[in-house]
Structure 1
Amino acid sequence: MTPAYGAGTLLTIAALAVAVLLLLIIVLRMHAFVALVLVSLGTAVAAGVPLADVPAISIAAFGSTLGNVALLVGLGVMIGRILEVTGGAQVLADTLVSRFGEKRAPLALGVAALLFGMPIFFDAGLVVFLPIIFSVAKRFGGSVLMYALPAAGAFAAMHAIVPPHPGPVTAATEIDASIGLTLLVGVVVAVVAWIVGVYVVTTAWLGKVDVPIDDSVLTGGREADTANPPGFAHVLGILLLPVLLIAANTIFTTLRTNGSIAEDGVLVDALIFTGQTPVALLISLLVATYTLAVRRYSRGETEHLLNESLGPICAIILITGAGGMFGGVLRYSGIGEALSDSLADIGLPLIVSAFVIATTLRVAQGSATVALTTTAGLISAGVADADPSSLQLVALVLAIAAGATVLSHVNDSGFWLVGRFFGMDVRTTLRTWTVLETTLGVSIFVLALGIWAVG
């Protein structure tokens, strides 16, 4: 769609839309789902989208987000419910704490999430980790954020800057940076940025924001079976299974893309299929169901257990979808395109320009992926003219990813996912998750600047 207004008008509409949304939810206490749908429709109309097209565009954006989130969340919470009620999550929590010590429990969760986050996407990893986070939090008490934020921040760091995640891969490809070098440097940067921008910030500040521990999204109030818990290796195997399947998918897809293996092959096709995230989670759910739940409960009780697990997440899924609707409307209205045109020639140093453009696009339309890909395309001509070194190209990828990470807010579906999973209202999510994403992104950018200087 050709934007109906200039960049200034569109930016004003976007800012007013966010302000109205916050007013409805925080001041007037309107339900977040209703408020998001209402503001999405109003924003589309105000931005000049033809009235006849508004419903279809809004529903398409809503459905696109649900297609990415609903399957993962639904399958993930089923796995989480089984691990929680059979005592498996407690076994994992006890083992982690015994290895790291009580005072390092947040560190243990974060390190584990960094390892799991290499091949698995942010939302899928967070869902699978929920039972462990809640088990550790219940054991030691205090605010759930002390344990939730290190893990969530670790998944966010890996997802933002480490291949094979799609954002950094797309950005690296767009500006001809080496995927392999981006992976090697990205892992180091992700760990350092997580320590500074997530772990330190959480333990010193954000983890002290009081958010009560409420794991009813997993348990439905049902007590865990602690009399005969499963073995640690059994539980760890269930959690590692989707990670290994997804890793195999990534490896063989990459090998097939670069021509290292043949385009056809039944075995490779099967591995790529089973490594699709929803399929991998479904396989893990079946393993958990028939090796943990059915051995303890009747088939009818197991069915009831899994059915119960879906009830508490309906609101989470709908609100997340509505958040995607809001972001989709903002993108369709031309706000991202208008910003791209106005920011392309701002005259800053290349790496600073990459960060500023990505940040502005991220704040305006919510999607980190759109911010990454759009920014990489915008600066690609400047990159070719500047002829940076291989290491400096990686630094540019990191700077773009840093800008696409900061300032997660109400037009980002991930903002709603994190806030609702851990029982936070909008104000608290802005005070904690938005701040954490910003300190993480700024830490990544500072490291990128250092790499650019020595590259």
Structure 2
Amino acid sequence: MLDPILILLIGVVVVVGGIIGLKLHPFLALLLAALTVALLTPTELVQQYFISKGLSEAEALKQAHKSIGERIATEFGNTCTKIGILIAMAAIIGKAMLDSGAAEKVIRAMLKVTGVQHAPIGFILSSFFLTIPVFVDTVIFLMMPLAKAMGMRLGKNYLLLALSVIAGAVMANSYVPPSPGPLFLVGALNVPIGLMMVCGVLLGLCTISVGYLIAVFLNKKFDIPLRDSPDARLADIKAIAEKDDKELPSLGWALLPAVFPLATICIRSAVEAFHKPGTPLTDSPILNSVLEVILFFGDKNIALLMGGIFALFVLARQKKTTKEKMTAFVQTALMSGGGIILITAAGGAFGGMLQQSGISDRIADLTKGYQMALIPLAFFIAMVVRTAQGSATVALITASGILAGMAQNANLGFHPVYLCLAIGSGAKLIPWMNDAGFWIMCKTSNLTEREALKTIAPMQSIMGLTGVILTMIAAWLFPLV
């Protein structure tokens, strides 16, 4: 029986060699890697994986004996379930906001507040605080068109703007509830959610400050321009940037496609985080009815759908275009979004096959008896699992499962919140081709795979390392026990 670590290494060779060496399209390389990993994984390991997910032994055996093609397709479909509608509607919102001038209007309003020199700081802070209540990919989808518009307006620093959006979003997603990962950690390690929110925001602001400095350095080191793409042609962005302010939508209409989904998702996230199921939301029946409507639209898929409808309305209102042109416009946007969906889902299939190989359990076994301080151990486990199979969520679950018992130890010497922060830091390392989020960041920013590995991966990894170092210092200075 092949060791899961060897299976992982073979999968890495296939996907990296296929994309960078053989110049294969990422979709094909990722599916070939998923197929390779699935072929090398014994049925016994697949069965153990499904048992660990809560299935009965008989049901796990049934799942394990499904054909390899069916298992790959299932993981492919699971990823599409999570991101398919989001990416499709975000593609429409992004292109509509660019073409209608809405993105340009938002950029001009932001520049009045931050000034040209501090525009990237405005981007990194905006993406950080927006990601606390909102799905991280949603924020990246909605803010990347603004980064493109700002890059065209400034005529420089596009990489700095794109990395600022990514840096703020990924760190909030690791540290601050009600983001799903931190919300899981506070439950697993029995940490008060309020304390995790405060500590997560403080550590997040520190790490994104480091991320900003790294982004500045990378922007100077790599001359990566804003590129033409089907959904954002440079000539069109330039023409809009040169328009008079009166030719653009009002700020309210410009913000609506992005603000509506963000606001409704925020409200739904807050209710889900703090409201007990089965109890009335308020004492007022009328207010309850209003909130129920808001919560309905707060589902991320419905929220993005409504954002897309609003974006198309603003475009039609601004350009007074024909129905035929609107249909062609949507077709172009969906062609761009469809490519991202396919690559991201293929990355999800590859990561899913790695998980079924038992790599998480293998890493857990290797690190369980390793004698080292708990904070760096928590970071190390999360880092290795995340790098190995691509899912930050699986990394969080694996690390918290190993450390949960130790976290309740009265002689721990520091508050368990620091273990949560260390695990969140480790889950940032190292993003590459087996991570669906890597492809979303890569494709929405129009970076090549090489450029993403040279910029996004090191920036995110250094922010994670910074996070664990600051966590260790804080646990020593302020143990909170």
- 1:236 paired with 2:259, answer no
What residue ranges of structure 1 are gaps of 5+ in the alignment? none
Work out the CA distance in 2 between the residues paired with 1:13 and 1:32: 20
- 1:47 paired with 2:61, answer no
- 1:129-140 paired onto structure 2 within 5 Å: 129-140=143-154
Q: Which residue of 2 aligns with 1:201?
A: 214
Q: Which residue of 1 aligns with 2:170?
A: 156
- 1:452 paired with 2:445, answer no
Q: Which residue of 1 aligns with 2:309?
A: 286
State which of 253, 265, 270 in structure 1 corresponds to 2:272: 253
Q: Which amino acid aligns with 2:29?
A: A
Q: What is the total number of aligned residue pairs between the two structures?
A: 447
SS of the aligned residue for 1:102 comes to coil
Q: TM-score, with normalisation over the residues of structure 2? A: 0.87
- 1:339-418 paired onto structure 2 within 5 Å: 339-386=363-410, 388=412, 392-418=415-441
Q: Which amino acid aligns with 1:195?
A: S
State which of 226, 232, 243 in structure 2 corresponds to 1:213: 226
Work out the CA distance in 1 between the residues paired with 2:137 and 2:110: 22
8 Å CA contact 1:134–1:215 kept in 2: the answer is: no
What residue ranges of structure 2 are gaps of 5+ in the alignment? 44-63
Q: Which amino acid aligns with 2:305?
A: L
Q: Which residue of 2 aligns with 1:338?
A: 362
Q: Which residue of 2 aligns with 1:184?
A: 198
Any idea what the Cα deviations from partners look like across 1:416-441, whole Å, max 9, x if unmatched? 11122222222221111110110111
- 1:36 paired with 2:49, answer no
Deviation at 1:169, TM superposition (A): 0.7
8 Å CA contact 1:75–1:285 kept in 2: the answer is: yes
* C-alpha distance 40-347 of structure 1, shift in aligned 2 (>3 A): same
Any idea what the Cα deviations from partners look like across 1:396-448, whole Å, max 9, x if unmatched? 11100100111111111111111222222222211111101101111211221
- 1:287-326 paired onto structure 2 within 5 Å: 287-296=310-319, 297-326=321-350
Work out the CA distance in 2 between the residues paired with 1:377 and 1:217: 44
- 1:166 paired with 2:174, answer no
Q: Which amino acid aligns with 1:155?
A: A
* C-alpha distance 52-170 of structure 1, shift in aligned 2 (>3 A): closer
SS of the aligned residue for 1:176 comes to coil
- 1:426 paired with 2:453, answer no
Deviates more, 1:284-293 or 1:342-351: 284-293
8 Å CA contact 1:131–1:218 kept in 2: the answer is: no
8 Å CA contact 2:93–2:308 kept in 1: the answer is: yes
Q: Which residue of 1 aligns with 2:49?
A: none
Q: Which amino acid aligns with 1:154?
A: G
Work out the CA distance in 2 between the residues paired with 1:268 and 1:115: 23
Any idea what the Cα deviations from partners look like across 1:164-186, whole Å, max 9, x if unmatched? 11101101110101111101111
Deviation at 1:347, TM superposition (A): 1.4
8 Å CA contact 1:294–1:302 kept in 2: the answer is: no
- What root-mean-square deviation, in Å, do the aligned CA atoms of Structure 1 and Structure 2 show? 2.2
Q: TM-score, with normalisation over the residues of structure 1? A: 0.92
Work out the CA distance in 1 between the residues paired with 2:22 and 2:255: 45
SS of the aligned residue for 2:409 comes to helix
Deviates more, 1:24-33 or 1:415-424: 415-424
Deviation at 1:231, TM superposition (A): 1.6
Any idea what the Cα deviations from partners look like across 1:70-108, whole Å, max 9, x if unmatched? 211111111111111111111111222232222222212
* C-alpha distance 251-260 of structure 1, shift in aligned 2 (>3 A): farther
Deviation at 1:369, TM superposition (A): 0.6
Deviates more, 1:93-102 or 1:253-262: 253-262
Q: Which amino acid aligns with 1:236?
A: L
Deviation at 1:189, TM superposition (A): 1.1
* C-alpha distance 104-182 of structure 1, shift in aligned 2 (>3 A): same
Deviates more, 1:335-344 or 1:97-106: 97-106
Q: Which residue of 1 aligns with 2:5?
A: 11
* C-alpha distance 186-217 of structure 1, shift in aligned 2 (>3 A): farther
8 Å CA contact 1:177–1:393 kept in 2: the answer is: yes
Identical residues among aligned pairs (%) = 26
Work out the CA distance in 1 between the residues paired with 2:233 and 2:32: 30
State which of 132, 136, 142 in structure 1 corresponds to 2:156: 142
Deviation at 1:238, TM superposition (A): 3.1
Deviation at 1:133, TM superposition (A): 0.5
Deviation at 1:24, TM superposition (A): 1.5
